[in-house]
Structures are given as structure tokens and as C-alpha cells.
Amino acid sequence: MSKDFGPVLVTGADTGIGRLTVETMAAKGYPTYAGVFDPSNIKELSALENVKSIQFDVTKPDDIRKVVDWIEDLGDGLYGVVNNAGISDLWPLIESPESYFHRVLNVNLYGVYRVTNAVVPFLQQTKGRIVTMGSLSGTIPSKMIGAYSVSKFAVEALTDIYNFELRKFGITAITIKPGNVQSNISNASAPILRKRQDDYEQSSYKEELAPLFDNLDNPAYLKRVQYDKPDRVVESIIDALYTENPKNKYLVANELDTKAAMKWMFRVTAQLNQHHTNSIDKVKLHQMLDEQVDKFT
């Protein structure tokens, strides 16, 4: 694999998948720009060989303009962006204030939109890559994390549209779709949950929320140690950035999650095809599926 590539900007590089992505790319010799939310992480990341760090908030247009200026001043251009910054909100949507719903979409969806649109001029020059963190929850709607699930459905559509629209400039947009893996997302949500103790006591979903509140002081639960480490996710990010012919979607999941994703997509197909004037018969549906499987095998 050639290492003749320009720098890649990774958002949400403070912890978890973002941090591991920066460390792995840098160790492989790829120039990496680590975008962090907490400025206290800049010194440690910048000490890594091949890494330069900058603090910015993906919800703040002024911060993103600062990043663009910073990249221009460094003078090495930009080959790719990894839209990794993300948050969740563990709460039933029907009981969620609009501000909480907006908070998640503002980071997970609008943050991707802001950052990507800002750096596209660099990527046009390098015929680069846009790699965006989706989720299995962007395929299967997930209760109790509704805002997160909505954001991941939307961000996958956004990435597909970027891929359609930017292909004329030689830019490829790719979605990474992890199943359940170890990450910092639950731990990052814990302080907000602690502030919602009164809401929890009054919630109609107290039984469903109980495991969250019972484990707010359980580091193993919050760090999701029961799941696989995110190494395969990082490998997929690197493949999406640097392989000659990347896939448009990388599902990084265990056998159970993979089967669940496929089953849900077949369910959606069946629902779309259910009892209407132009319903397609099973034989034709099988033919259409075979055509797509052959195309992407």
C-alpha cells in the first residue's frame, strides 16, 4: 500500500474509535490531523509522530472556519476526512425535549454536513475520500436511543448523496457501519443521565431505563467492555481511505448483528412490496436480489 497520500482530518479524536484511528494511522506513517473537542488532549496527540492536533467543535461554524484556515496555513492540503465525532442520548423520544433531540442531530448530522462541506475544496484538489461513521442503528431503528438512530439513518443518506454528487470531482464518500463495539459513547452520556434522575423517576419507561441508571457508576458497563474492541472498525476506516477501490458501505459486525441487519433490510423490502398495484412477485424479487449480490460480490 502506497503511503503517498496527503493528510487526513479525523474528528472526535479525543477518545474511543477516533483516538484509535489517529494512533493507528500515524503508526502506519500516514499524516493525520486530529480534531479534538477537549483541548487537554492536544498535547498528547500532537506528541505522536505524523500527528498534528487542533481543537474545534463541529457544531460551531466559526471553529470549522478556523480549521480550514489552519489547514491552509500548514500548506499540505487534505486527502481525506473521517467524520467520527458523535454523541448519543439514551432516552425515549416521546419524552425527550426538542433541545435534547437537536443536540444529537447537531453533532451527528449537521456536524458531518458542516465539516464535509468546508473541506470539499481541498478534496477536489486531491480526489480524496470522505469516510463517515454510521451505525448498525442507522439500519435497524433502535428504541431508547431514538435520536441517535435517527441521526445515523440520516447521515448514511447524506453520505450516499455526497457520493453521488461529488463523484464528478473524483471524490468518494463511504459509510462505516459498526455493530456493537467498545467505545466511549455510553460513558460520555453518563453525566447527562445523572442530571435526569428526576425525569427517570417520573418516566413511563422507567423499567426500560433502569439498566442505564443502575450502571451509571459501573465503568465496565459504560465502556461497553462486553463487546469486541474496535480494531476491525479502524481497519475498515483505513481501508476505506487508502484502498484503490473502497466499498461504499462497510458493515463491521459479528454474525448475530449481521444477520439482524440483513433480516431487517429484507423486512423493509417486503413492507414496501406489500399488497399494492405494482407489487413484484417472489421470483422477480429473487432475481433482483441476485443481480445486486452479483454486482457487489
d(CA 108, CA 185) in angstroms, rounded, equals 12
Tell me the Cα Rg of the chain.
Answer: 20
d(CA 5, CA 155) in angstroms, rounded, equals 26
d(CA 130, CA 156) in angstroms, rounded, equals 12
Return all residues near 173 (Cβ < 8 A) that are at least 6 apart.
129, 130, 131, 132, 159, 160, 162, 163, 166, 248
- How far apart, in Å, are the Cα atoms of 25 and each of 9, 50, 132, 173? 11, 9, 16, 19
* The Cα angle at residue 17 between residues 221 and 96, in degrees rounded to 5: 60
d(CA 58, CA 179) in angstroms, rounded, equals 24
Name the residues annotated as catalytic: 148
- For residue 248, give the 3-state DSSP assignment: coil
d(CA 56, CA 107) in angstroms, rounded, equals 12
- How far apart, in Å, are the Cα atoms of 287 and each of 243, 261, 282, 292, 294? 31, 21, 9, 9, 10
d(CA 72, CA 47) in angstroms, rounded, equals 21
